[in-house]
């Protein structure tokens, strides 16, 4: 947002916005980007924008939703006359064909679209929360796995099955004791050459 003096604003012959106008981008990467002028009651636009001032009987949000819809985007692409940079002429925007149902129907369409956007936002929020929860759960599962808490130990399984369990340390001690009783190191087999 840039500001200009009252004197400069008063000297402008065109490009002055009013509350409820739509501003529509005509050039560059933001071609077709649309905004409703609100809460500002006055201001001026840059040369890359055009003001769309609606007639009586046209709901501002209905026009906004139309211009930002896939059909509005298709019109923007159809009239784009830029080669190196996307570009629309203000005269081209005047050629857009906009389906215009009665005002009551426009208002109902706006009500339903806003309800669907609220639902989509609620779903997005739930998905984001579930993603965070899943990431925390994944970390907790990995931590349990590396602490050996995820699956029963051999001792627990032996106890459940009613069999005896000898820890590896006890088995190694028993083997060492048996070897030390013999007094000789274990014999190694030699391989015959073939």
List, for residues 9-68, the tens digit of each pLDDT value. 888 888 888 898 999 999 888 899 999 998 887 888 888 899 999 999 999 999 999 999
d(CA 93, CA 17) in angstroms, rounded, equals 17
pLDDT of 183 strictly over 60: no
Q: What is the pLDDT of residue 172?
A: 87
Least confident span in 6-15, 107-116, 123-132, 152-161: 152-161
Comparing CA positions, the residue from 40, 35, 9 lying closest to residue 22 is: 35
- Report the share of the chain in percent with pLDDT over 90: 42
Sign of the Cα torsion 171, 174, 176, 182 reads negative
d(CA 25, CA 47) in angstroms, rounded, equals 9
pTM for this structure? Answer: 0.66
Q: What is the mean pLDDT of the chain?
A: 86
* Superfamily covering domain 6-100: DNA methylase specificity domains (3.90.220.20)
**All structural domains of the chain with their residue ranges:** 6-100, 108-151, 152-182
- Cα–Cα distances in Å, from 115 out to 25, 118, 119, 122? 27, 5, 6, 11
Comparing CA positions, the residue from 78, 88, 12, 99 lying closest to residue 50 is: 88
Q: What is the band of 130 on the pLDDT scale with cuts at 50, 70, 90?
A: very high
Q: What is the pLDDT of residue 190?
A: 59
């Amino acid at each position: 947002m840039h500001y200009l003096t009252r004197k400069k604003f008063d000297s402008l012959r065109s490009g002055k916005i009013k509350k409820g106008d739509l501003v529509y981008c005509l050039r560059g990467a933001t071609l077709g980007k649309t905004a409703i002028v609100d809460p500002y009651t006055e201001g001026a636009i840059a040369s890359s924008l055009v003001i769309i001032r609606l007639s009586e009987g046209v709901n501002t949000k209905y026009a906004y939703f139309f211009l930002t819809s896939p059909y509005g985007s298709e019109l923007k692409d159809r009239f784009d006359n830029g080669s190196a940079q996307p570009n629309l002429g203000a005269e081209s925007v005047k050629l857009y064909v906009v389906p215009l149902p009665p005002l009551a129907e426009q208002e109902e369409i706006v009500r339903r679209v806003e309800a669907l956007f609220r639902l989509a936002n609620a779903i997005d929020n739930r998905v984001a929360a579930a993603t965070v929860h899943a990431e925390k759960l994944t970390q907790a599962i990995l931590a349990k796995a590396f602490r050996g808490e995820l699956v029963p130990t051999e001792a627990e399984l032996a106890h459940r099955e009613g069999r005896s369990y000898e820890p590896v340390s006890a088995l190694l001690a028993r083997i060492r004791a048996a070897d030390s009783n013999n007094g000789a190191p274990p014999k190694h087999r030699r391989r015959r050459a073939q």
